[in-house]
Amino acid sequence: MPIRELSQFLTEADIEGLRRSTETATGLPGSVYTDEDFWMLERRSYFPSRWMACAHEHDLANPGDAVPVRVAGFELILTRDSDNKIRAFHNICAHRSMPVLQDRQSAVSTIRCPWHCWTYNLRGQLVATPNLGGIHVGELEAFDRSELGLREVNCDSFLNLVFVNIDGKAPPLREFLAPLQRRLYDYDLDVLRASGQSTGVVFEGNWKLVIEGGVEDYHLPWVHPQLGPHSGMFTPEWDDTDCYVGFSSQRPADDEPVSITGNPRQATAALPVFPHMATPTQDGLGPPGLILMVPPSAVFALMSNHVVTTLLIPLSVDRTEQRRSFMYLGDAASSSELAPARQAICDSWVAVGDQDLDLASALQRQHRLRTETDIPTRFSPHWEPAVHHFQNMVVNHLIAQSAESGDQLSS
């Protein structure tokens, strides 16, 4: 069945409503969150052309590690070879398309298709085809192994996340993430160490709904009451190249018994902080928390004493996997004395995530209903400019891709 075009989901009126100021704009129609056909359009025209985070670097901690991963409907293999480089390949055997890797493997030099035993090294090269030409005949002149390796996918890493670009046409990851790196200039990222803490959950909601819920603080007092009432400062943030979108926020330094992430301040006071946050500010506010999304699947949350790198893996039109990994400054990542502080940090993030689970499934359900009833959505001009901008980011990218395919929709 042909994939429907963007103009079949978004009218000129939809675009005009989205392009207005946040105070008067209307949001994307519900079908972009619920329609299987729109998911297929994203799989053709959005996901492949973006850099997508699909794993944490510590998922492949050692040479000889190989893991299967799924992201946005694509099945991949990640490997770390003896040169310590992480590589990505489509998990499709060059013989008859069987998935080559079913489960994580460690301390290996090759991976083997379970159907007919075609064997590949960790650089994707085909190295063995047992009995290809008959019993004990493993090679044939018509089969050039150098042309039958696993199909490689562009792959690179940043701040504990492994990214892939499916169509191979995106700029290098460092170039793409340059705006993010400039935003994080004050943070000494080199001192960060992975703690081994990780959490995972699946939201029964579209990936865009999960991102939208993560770039505004409007809902906090009611959905996450442990974080306290609205206070301090909230600043939506994004760059001019549609690399990232998110926000920064600050709470009063002395008035709040809990930190910006909800853990008791006293429980985590011994954790070291980033040097540029060690000096109290003059405005009575505590150090800022910064949450930046790199759609569709990477989230960087930088707090004064820890960093959380999160994968938001689109699984289907209505399911999104979230996997977090926690990093701390230097020895704080492994110190036994600071284990209770690390646990307090992790517990606070888990509590917030658990509270979001029912919200995601309810939103998914209601977006289906509002599609049927043609009810538009609106934005808070104070709290939700980043939500508004994110929706425009998605549309901008799809319009650009649609123009390449000949589908005309005004920008």
Alpha helices in 155-290 (DSSP H): 173-176, 178-183, 207-214, 220-223, 265-268
Domains of the chain: 52-157 (2.102.10.10), 185-399 (3.90.380.10)
pLDDT at 179: 98
pLDDT at 262: 55
Question: What kind and span of H or E run contains 402?
Answer: helix 385-405
- The amino acid at 311: L
Q: Counting Cβ atoms within 10 Å, is residue 63 exposed (0-12), middle (13-18) or buried (19+)?
A: middle
Task: State the pLDDT confidence band at 263, using cuts at 50, 70 and 90.
Answer: low
pLDDT at 133: 84
Q: What's the rounded mean pLDDT across residues 383-390?
A: 98
Task: State the pLDDT confidence band at 204, using cuts at 50, 70 and 90.
Answer: very high
- Spatial distance between the Cα atoms of 383 and 312, rounded to a whole number of angstroms: 22
Task: State the pLDDT confidence band at 153, using cuts at 50, 70 and 90.
Answer: very high
pLDDT at 132: 82
Residue 409 has pLDDT above 70, yes or no: no
pLDDT at 261: 56
Query: For residue 200, which of 312, 34, 53 has the smallest C-alpha distance?
Result: 312
Residue 410 has pLDDT above 60, yes or no: no
- Spatial distance between the Cα atoms of 275 and 279, rounded to a whole number of angstroms: 8
pLDDT at 231: 87
- Lowest average pLDDT, out of 2-16, 147-161, 227-241, 326-340, goes to 2-16
pLDDT at 305: 95
Give the pTM: 0.94
Q: Tokens standing for 127?
A: 């190295």
Q: What's the rounded mean pLDDT across residues 27-56?
A: 96
Of the two residues 82 and 251, the one the predictor is more confident about is 82
Q: What's the rounded mean pLDDT across residues 240-247?
A: 97
Residue 397 has pLDDT above 60, yes or no: yes
pLDDT at 407: 58
| Phi, psi angles (nearest 5°) of residue 300 | -120, 115
Q: How many CB atoms lie within 10 A of CB 363?
A: 21
Task: State the pLDDT confidence band at 238, using cuts at 50, 70 and 90.
Answer: very high
Q: What is the pLDDT of residues 45-67, one digit of tens each?
A: 999 999 999 999 999 999 999 99
